A and B are shown apart, each in its own frame.
Chain A
Amino acid sequence: MKKKIATVSLAGCFGCHMSLLDIDERILDLLKVAEFDKTPLNDLKKFTTRCDIGLVEGGCCNEENVHTLQEFRKNCDVLVAVGACAIMGGLPVMRNAIMNAVDPLRECLEEAYMNSSSVYNSTNDIPNDPALPLILDKVYNCSEVVKIDYQIPGCPPSGDTLWQTLNALIRGVPADLPYELIRYD
């Protein structure tokens, strides 16, 4: 029986998904032993079945990210945090450290939409359309929100790293990555 894989990009840049495509023609070998369920790669919006492996790119910066991550935890046997953002917040987490601010989130939004010299915003509004997911007080990494089983470090992890780890996960053996494939950048 083929393993079911689901993937998602939360507060990430899709770089990890691009890296997943860097396994190139090996994706054909992957599809012999696994198939993709909900993932941006096939544009399935909802889980059609319970999945064996869930790959999560990015941390949580808004409420929609949290709901999606919780849905993944519910529907996946093994949840893997892929890349620096999912593991420790990555670049988005830099907003947690805005210095000397009484209200860091407000300062962040005001800089982005009102005060920055390159911004033209005649009404001085910060976007708050009800369709926009509510932004969180700070950026959370995946393990702060749900239980994470494995992580694949890298920004992004290379195609080879993802290939080896996925293969090991599918076969149920330790990944034992060689030195060249463990990278944090």
Chain B
Amino acid sequence: MSKSITFKIDGATVTARAGQTIMDAADETGIYIPRLCDVEGLEPQGSCRVCTVKVNGRPAAACTQPAAQGIVVENDTLEILNYRRDLIRMLFQEGNHLCSICEASGRCELQAMAYRLAIVEPAKYPYLQPVRPIDASHPDILLDKNRCIRCGRCIRASRQIDGKNVFGYIGRGINKRVGVDGKNLADTNVDVNDRAVSPGTCPVGCIIRRGLGFYQPIGQRKYDNAPIGSEIENTRSGRGKQ
């Protein structure tokens, strides 16, 4: 039996088990910390920084930072909200995110995060409009890398769950991108049932299941009526809503 840890998030007392991250403990308490690259079932990698919180006044990624006794965590403050808005804006502006024509619209976590953070102000940064290829080689799966936010969820799902190496990072810095282990997706050992290409792994519309199209009507899509994170705030103890 491991010793329990208590700490504060925005003044609310949170209990964690030893070894839990701040985000795990917050989730169990019903406090939602926004995140994109972290998803339940995969090892956190702390790369998108959307889950940045202040721990005793210093910024840290809540998905990788271990919970510790007595720490004071700031999550839902205007400073952090604006910081997260900037991160989301930059993700929109460095790729080609045309929500109007994207199959993932309505269930896209990037879009849902922008809705939740209420991003309606004019663009602060220029749109980079990169030219990125579409990989339509596979009969069942389409890769539209214009929408990739390099969260690495497909990479981790392929390695940690499927036991394969279908996806991986290529390049560094602004040139970093997700590549496939072969000359195209059809050239890899990917299976349509792999977790890496299953719905819910890719947070945006980069990995698309072909033949489904716009299968949910507007109004019934995942984030049409409830903000992203409300499942954590509503179904658990829901303290974060107070």
User: Chain A: residues with CB nearer than 8 A to chain B?
Assistant: 81, 84, 87-91, 93-94, 96-97, 99-100, 141, 143-144, 148-153, 155, 175, 177, 179-180, 182-185
Chain B residue, CB-CB nearest to A182: B115
By a CB distance below 8 angstroms, the chain B residues around A89 are: 127, 129
Q: Which of B120, B126, B133, B218 contacts A182 (CB under 8 A)?
A: B120
Chain B 193-236 interface mask (CB, 8 Å, partner A; 1/0): 00000000000000000000000001000000101000000000
Q: Do A91 and B127 have beta carbons less than 8 Å apart?
A: no
User: Which of B98, B106, B114, B115 is the most central at the interface, judged by chain A CB atoms within 10 Å of its CB?
Assistant: B98
Q: Do B115 and A97 have beta carbons less than 8 Å apart?
A: no
Q: Do A151 and B121 have beta carbons less than 8 Å apart?
A: yes
B 51-82 contacts with A by CB, 8 A: none
User: Which of B106, B115, B120, B131 is the most central at the interface, judged by chain A CB atoms within 10 Å of its CB?
Assistant: B120
By a CB distance below 8 angstroms, the chain A residues around B92 are: 88
A-B contact pairs, 21 of them (CB 8 A): A81-B122, A84-B100, A88-B98, A89-B127, A90-B100, A91-B98, A91-B100, A91-B101, A94-B98, A96-B129, A97-B129, A97-B131, A97-B132, A141-B127, A155-B99, A179-B116, A182-B115, A182-B119, A185-B102, A185-B105, A185-B218
Question: Shortest distance in angstroms between B189's beta carbon and chain A's nearest beta carbon?
Answer: 27
Once bound together, how far apart are the Cα atoms of A173 and B146, in whole Å? Answer: 37
Interface size on B, residues (CB 8 A): 30
User: Which of A91, A99, A179 is the most central at the interface, judged by chain B CB atoms within 10 Å of its CB?
Assistant: A179
Q: Which of A97, A100, A155 contacts B96 (CB under 8 A)?
A: A97
Q: Does B15 contact A (CB under 8 A)?
A: no
Q: Which of A91, A143, A155, A184 contacts B122 (CB under 8 A)?
A: A143
Chain A residue, CB-CB nearest to B121: A151
Once bound together, how far apart are the Cα atoms of A105 and B100, in whole Å? Answer: 23
By a CB distance below 8 angstroms, the chain A residues around B121 are: 150-151
By a CB distance below 8 angstroms, the chain A residues around B225 are: 180
Once bound together, how far apart are the Cα atoms of A32 and B61, in whole Å? Answer: 51
Once bound together, how far apart are the Cα atoms of A100 and B118, in whole Å? Answer: 36
Q: Does B12 contact A (CB under 8 A)?
A: no
Once bound together, how far apart are the Cα atoms of A153 and B88, in whole Å? Answer: 15
Given known contacts A144-B126, A185-B106, A179 and B115 CB-to-CB distance under 8 angstroms: yes
Chain A residue, CB-CB nearest to B221: A185
Given known contacts A182-B118, A185-B106, A155 and B227 CB-to-CB distance under 8 angstroms: no
Q: Does B123 contact A (CB under 8 A)?
A: yes
Question: Shortest distance in angstroms between A113's beta carbon and chain B's nearest beta carbon?
Answer: 23
Q: Does B111 contact A (CB under 8 A)?
A: yes
By a CB distance below 8 angstroms, the chain A residues around B127 are: 88-89, 141
Question: Shortest distance in angstroms between B123's beta carbon and chain A's nearest beta carbon?
Answer: 6
Q: Do A177 and B118 have beta carbons less than 8 Å apart?
A: yes
B 90-118 contacts with A by CB, 8 A: 92, 96, 98-102, 105-106, 111, 114-116, 118
Once bound together, how far apart are the Cα atoms of A155 and B111, in whole Å? Answer: 13
Given known contacts A89-B127, A150-B122, A177-B118, A84 and B227 CB-to-CB distance under 8 angstroms: no
Q: Do A177 and B120 have beta carbons less than 8 Å apart?
A: yes
Q: Which of B119, B120, B123 contacts A143 (CB under 8 A)?
A: B123
Chain B 24-67 interface mask (CB, 8 Å, partner A; 1/0): 00000000000000000000000000000000000000000000
Q: Which of B106, B111, B120, B146 contacts A152 (CB under 8 A)?
A: B120
Once bound together, how far apart are the Cα atoms of A52 and B126, in whole Å? Answer: 27
Q: Do A99 and B131 have beta carbons less than 8 Å apart?
A: yes
